[in-house]
Chains A and B, each alone.
Chain A
C-alpha cells in the first residue's frame, strides 16, 4: 500500500486568530456602529474566520493550485466537451459596453447588446438548420425542458395534448432526458439500442402510436456513434404524429459539417458552454440555447429579439401562445458575447475544422488504445470514443480503478459507467483543442495503467495516492452529506 505524501490543507477557519483583519474599511461619513454590538450573539455563534490579508491571499492561492482544470491539464470527460476556451472570449465579455449594461434599462438603449443576440442566432441557425433560436435557457437540461414544453403546447394547440402522454427515450440517453420528460408530466418509455449501437427500428416501431408526444434522440448518440438512419427515425415518429427532439450535447461532432435541422428534427438544444466555448464547469453560468422549426415558433419563450424594417433590433412581446419566459431577461447574456467572439474568430471556413479535429482526435485515441481498452462498437466513432474495461474485471479491476489511477498519473479521469448499456464503460472525449503530443502522453499513461492492472492491480485499487484525499467512499458521500465545517468539540481534544 502506497502512503499519501500530500498534506491536507487546513481550512480558513483553523487559520483564524481573533482580531486579525484583511481590509481597511474607509472612514465612515455616517455615525459608526460597533460590530459586536450590532450583531451581538450572531458573531459569537458563527465562527467567522479572522485572518490577515497575506494569509488570506496565500490560503486561496494554495487552494487554487490544487485544483484541476482545462487550464492545467488534459480533461477528457466524455459527453462534456471540455475544450479550451480562448482568452479572447474574456476580452470581449469584459468590455465595458457589455458589463455595464443594466438588465432593467429600456431595450432601445441596448440595441448593441440585442444585435449580439441576433448575430449569435444567425450563426446558430446556419449551423443547426433550424428556423428559430432562443438563448433564454441557462443550461442544457433547461433547453431540453423548454423544447418539451413547446412540444406539449404544440400538441395541446392541436387538441392532441391529452392523448399524447408518452415520451420515448433511448436506453443510452443522458439521464436528463427522462428527467425533463417526467418534469413535463410525460410517461417515459425506453427505446432499445441494437447491437450496432443504433436505434432499434423494430423496437421503435412497436412503441409508436398516437400516445407518443415525442422521441428524444441524442445524435451522435452517447455511444459516440452517428445514427445513420436518423432521417428514417424522424420520418417514423412524424408519421405517428410525434415530434423529434435532438439532444445537442454532442454537437461538437457536427459543427459546420452536418445540420440536425436537415436530419428531420423539430427542435434541439445546444450547449454554448460546451460546443461554443463559453466557460464550462464551476457551475456555469451556462447557455442551453434551443433551435426550433417554424411550426413550433408560436410557442417559443418570449420576448423574442427581432429586427424592424430598418434593421433596428426590437422586442416581440406579443406572443399569446408562448410558453412564457423560461429565464429572466435573455438568459446569460455574456455567454452570447463569448459565443459570438468564438464563432466570428472561426468564421464560415474555420467552423467545420472544430468537428473534423474533434472526431479525428477521438478516433486517434480509440485506435491507440484498441489492444488494452477495446471500443464497445467496432466502427468509426464521432467526437468521443466509448471503450470497455471489462477484460480486467475478473482480475478485480474495474473501470473506476483505472480512472482513479489516472489521477495519480496527472490526468482528469474520463466519464465512467455511462452510457449504462456498455459494461465497464469509459467514455473519452478529447475535443479538438488538444495536440497530438498531449493525446500520445495520455494514451501512454492509459496503456501503462492497463499493464499495471494485470501486473500489480493493487496500484489501481488503492489509487489515488498522490492527492490530498485518497479513495473516497462514494456511498457515504451520498448518505452522510457533510459539507459544513464545525469547530472541533472540546471533549474531542485529548
Chain B
C-alpha cells in the first residue's frame, strides 16, 4: 500500500498535498483499494466554499457510495474534470492523476490536526 511521505492524511482517508496556501485533495491508495473499482465521482464546482468536516462530494464504487470530507475550510479553485470520463484514474493513480479538487485554504493552521504518513500508516494497519 503506497503512503507517500510528502502528503498529509485524514482518518476518513483523504490525502492532501500542500502548495503554499492551496491544497490538492484526493483519496488514498488504501481507500481506493477498499472501495474497489470506482465508477463515478461527484465533485463540487470551482468557486464553492467548503467547511472543514463537511461532505463536499462522493465516490461511487462497485461496492458502495462514500462521502468525501473536506479536511480544511476554503474555496474550491479547481476540479479534476478528467474524472468525469475516467473515474478509473482514482484506482490506477490515486495520489497523482486521480486527484479530485484544489482548495485555497482560509486557515492554514487546520493542517496541524492532520495525520502525517507515519500516523496514517498506523491508522490503516
Decide whether A and B are members of one complex: yes
Hey, which bits of chain A sit against chain B, CB under 8 A? 175, 400, 416-417, 420, 423, 474-475, 478-479
B88 located at the interface, meaning its Cβ lies under 8 Å from any Cβ of chain A in the complex: yes
Instruction: Report B-chain residues with C-beta under 8 Å of the C-beta of A423.
Output: 34
Instruction: Decide if B63 touches A479 in the complex (CB within 8 Å).
Output: no
A444 to chain B, nearest CB (A): 28
Complex CA–CA separation, A478 to B38 (angstroms): 10
Instruction: Decide if B64 touches A478 in the complex (CB within 8 Å).
Output: no
Instruction: Decide if A475 touches B37 in the complex (CB within 8 Å).
Output: yes
- 17 further contact pairs, Cβ within 8 A, besides A400-B36, A475-B37, A478-B40: A175-B64, A416-B63, A417-B36, A417-B63, A420-B64, A423-B34, A474-B36, A474-B37, A474-B62, A475-B38, A475-B39, A475-B62, A475-B88, A478-B39, A478-B62, A479-B39, A479-B87
Instruction: Report B-chain residues with C-beta under 8 Å of the C-beta of A417.
Output: 36, 63-64
Complex CA–CA separation, A474 to B62 (angstroms): 6
Contact string, B44-64, partner A, CB cutoff 8 A, digits 1/0? 000000000000000000111
Interface pairs (6), CB distance under 8 Å: A175-B65, A416-B63, A417-B36, A417-B63, A417-B64, A479-B40
Residue of B nearest to A417 (CB): B63
Instruction: Report A-chain residues with C-beta under 8 Å of the C-beta of B38.
Output: 475
Instruction: Report B-chain residues with C-beta under 8 Å of the C-beta of A474.
Output: 36-37, 62
Contact residues on B (Cβ < 8 Å of other chain), bracket: 10 to 19
Number of A-B contacts (CB under 8 A): 23
A423 to chain B, nearest CB (A): 8
Instruction: Report A-chain residues with C-beta under 8 Å of the C-beta of B34.
Output: 423
Contact string, B63-74, partner A, CB cutoff 8 A, digits 1/0? 111000000000
A52 to chain B, nearest CB (A): 41
Complex CA–CA separation, A478 to B36 (angstroms): 13
Contact string, B92-108, partner A, CB cutoff 8 A, digits 1/0? 00000000000000000
Instruction: Report B-chain residues with C-beta under 8 Å of the C-beta of A479.
Output: 39-40, 87
Residue of B nearest to A190 (CB): B67
A299 to chain B, nearest CB (A): 31
Residue of B nearest to A472 (CB): B62
Complex CA–CA separation, A175 to B87 (angstroms): 22
3 closest A-B pairs by CB = A475-B37, A474-B62, A478-B39
Residue of A nearest to B38 (CB): A475
Instruction: Report B-chain residues with C-beta under 8 Å of the C-beta of A175.
Output: 64-65
Complex CA–CA separation, A417 to B65 (angstroms): 12
Instruction: Report A-chain residues with C-beta under 8 Å of the C-beta of B64.
Output: 175, 417, 420
Residue of A nearest to B63 (CB): A417
Complex CA–CA separation, A478 to B39 (angstroms): 7
A424 to chain B, nearest CB (A): 9
Complex CA–CA separation, A417 to B62 (angstroms): 10
A393 to chain B, nearest CB (A): 9
Instruction: Report B-chain residues with C-beta under 8 Å of the C-beta of A416.
Output: 63
Of A400, A420, A478, chain B has the most CB atoms within 10 Å of the CB of A478
Residue of B nearest to A179 (CB): B65
Instruction: Report A-chain residues with C-beta under 8 Å of the C-beta of B37.
Output: 474-475
Residue of A nearest to B34 (CB): A423
Contact string, B2-42, partner A, CB cutoff 8 A, digits 1/0? 00000000000000000000000000000000101111100
Instruction: Report B-chain residues with C-beta under 8 Å of the C-beta of A478.
Output: 39-40, 62
Of A420, A423, A479, chain B has the most CB atoms within 10 Å of the CB of A479
Residue of A nearest to B39 (CB): A478
B34 to chain A, nearest CB (A): 8
Complex CA–CA separation, A423 to B65 (angstroms): 16
Complex CA–CA separation, A4 to B51 (angstroms): 53
B12 to chain A, nearest CB (A): 11
In B69-95, the 8 Å CB interface with A consists of: 87-88
Complex CA–CA separation, A400 to B37 (angstroms): 13
A202 to chain B, nearest CB (A): 17
Instruction: Report B-chain residues with C-beta under 8 Å of the C-beta of A420.
Output: 64
Instruction: Report A-chain residues with C-beta under 8 Å of the C-beta of B87.
Output: 479
Complex CA–CA separation, A420 to B40 (angstroms): 19
Instruction: Report A-chain residues with C-beta under 8 Å of the C-beta of B36.
Output: 400, 417, 474
Instruction: Report A-chain residues with C-beta under 8 Å of the C-beta of B39.
Output: 475, 478-479
A136 to chain B, nearest CB (A): 29
Complex CA–CA separation, A479 to B63 (angstroms): 14
Instruction: Report A-chain residues with C-beta under 8 Å of the C-beta of B88.
Output: 475
Instruction: Report A-chain residues with C-beta under 8 Å of the C-beta of B65.
Output: 175
Complex CA–CA separation, A420 to B12 (angstroms): 13
B115 to chain A, nearest CB (A): 19
Residue of A nearest to B62 (CB): A474
B92 to chain A, nearest CB (A): 12
Residue of A nearest to B88 (CB): A475
